[in-house]
Amino acid sequence: MTRLYPRLLPSEVDKAFALLAGLSPHAIELLGLQESGYVFAAAGGDRVSPDELAALRSELTACAREFGYPDTNRIDDLIAFDRTLARWLHRQLDIVPGEASSKAVWGYLGLVVAPHVAAWRFPSREPGYTRERFDGSDLTRNTFSRLWWRAAVLVDEDQPDPYRLVDLLGEEAIDQLMARRRSLAASPGLARAIVREASRRENDLDRSLLRDALQRLLRLSAFMDFEVMDDFELSRTVGEEFDASHQALRGA
C-alpha cells in the first residue's frame, strides 16, 4: 500500500515561509518540526506517522551532511547531492504519481519537514530565499519534488542501474528537459531517449544545441505520436533532430 503524506494547507504557506526569513540553514534546523495545518488525502494509502516524518527529516539532513551541509555548498557537491537524493526520494518515499502531483505534499516537505535542507541547497540571495524552492507552487522548482519527478520520468527498471540516466546530464540540461514536463517530459520513453542522445553528444552539447533540439522535438510533437514508437524509433527520431540542430547551429 502506498504512503500518504501530509498536505500543507494553503493558509499555512505564508506563515511557514515567513519563519525562514533571515535565518541560516542551521538556524532553520534548530527551529525543529513546526506545528502546522495539514490534511491527508481521504483514502488510498497508509498515512505516514509523526515518527516517520521525524525519521525522514533525519535522513534528509544526513544526506545533506554528506555533501557539505550546513557550512559549505560547492557546486559539485550540490550536483552530487541532487543525484543521490533523486534516487533516494524515488525509492524510499513510496509515494505514487497521483500523490506526488499534490503541490501541498511537497510544500509540507519543503516548508515543514526539511526547510533547512532546502535553504542549504538553494541559499538565500537578496532579497531572501526563493519561495518556489520551499513551497509546492512549481513542482519543477521545489527542492524535493523536482528530484522525485526527475527520477520518476527517467527511471528504467529494465536496466542494471535503473537511475543511471538521472546522472548523465548536468543540472542545467536536465532542467531544460524537465521544464517541459507537460510536453516532452510527459513521455518517459521520449525523455529517456533525449537524455541518452544528449549525453552521447556530451562533447559538443551546449545550451543552444539542447534548446534547439528540444524546440524541434516540441514542434514535431504537434503531429507525431511518440507513444507508438519503440525505443529504436524514438532514438532514431531524437538523433535526427539533434543532427538537424547541430547542422543549423554550425551553419549559423
Partner 1 sequence: MRALPYRTPAFESVLASPWVVDGVPLGERLDQGWDYQTQLAARRRLTIDVARVRREAGLTMADEMVVSSRYRATGSLIRHRGNMESLAAGSPAIADVETEVRIDGADLAGALELETTVTLGSVTPRQQTFVARRPGSILWRRSDLFAVEGGGGLLPVARTSFAGSALPKGAWFISAGTGEWDAPAMGHLLVLLNEDNPGVLAALERTLAGEFTSAVWQALALDIVHTVLSLAADDPDFATTDGETDDEISKAALATRFIRTWYAHPGEEAADALGRLRYDAQNEPARLRAVLQERLHFLGRDLG
Judged by CB under 8 A, does residue 123 bind partner 1? no
Residues 176-205, interacting with partner 1 (CB under 8 A): 181-182, 185-188
Write down the least CB distance from residue 215 to partner 1, Å. 16
Residues 155-174, interacting with partner 1 (CB under 8 A): none
Rounded distance between C-alpha atoms, residue 29 and residue 59, angstroms: 13
Q: Based on the number of CB atoms within 10 Å of its own CB, is 11 exposed (0-12), middle (13-18) or buried (19 or more)?
A: exposed
Write down the least CB distance from residue 66 to partner 1, Å. 30
Task: Give start and end residues of each alpha helix (H) in 160-220.
Answer: 171-178, 188-200, 207-220
Can you tell me which of 127, 222, 251, 252 binds partner 1, judged by CB under 8 A? 222
**Smaller CB distance to partner 1: residue 44 or 128?**
44
Can you tell me which of 20, 100, 165, 217 binds partner 1, judged by CB under 8 A? 100
Can you tell me which of 229, 235, 238, 241 binds partner 1, judged by CB under 8 A? 229
Write down the least CB distance from residue 223 to partner 1, Å. 5
Q: Which region among 5-13, 86-94, 115-123, 196-204 touches partner 1 (by CB under 8 A)?
A: 5-13
Write down the least CB distance from residue 165 to partner 1, Å. 15
Judged by CB under 8 A, does residue 9 bind partner 1? yes
Judged by CB under 8 A, does residue 103 bind partner 1? yes
DSSP state of 230: -
Tally of residues, the chain? 252
Amino acid identity, residue 111? L
Rounded distance between C-alpha atoms, residue 242 and residue 238, angstroms: 6
- What cell numbers appear for 129 in the block? 530565499
Q: What are phi and psi of 246, to 5 degrees?
A: -60, -45
Side-chain-facing half-sphere of 34: CA atoms under 13 Å: 23
Mark residues 11-30: x for contact with partner 1 by CB under 8 A, - for none: xxxx----------------
- The partner residues of 47 in beta bridges, in order of sequence, read 4
Judged by CB under 8 A, does residue 37 bind partner 1? yes
Judged by CB under 8 A, does residue 214 bind partner 1? no
**Smaller CB distance to partner 1: residue 93 or 104?**
104
- Cβ atoms 116, 13 nearer than 8 A: no
Q: What are phi and psi of 47, to 5 degrees?
A: -70, 135
Give which of 207, 202, 193 is closest to 249, Cα–Cα. Answer: 207
In the complex, the residues that contact partner 1 under the rule CB under 8 A are: 1-2, 6, 9-14, 35-45, 47, 96-104, 137, 152-153, 181-182, 185-188, 222-229, 233, 237
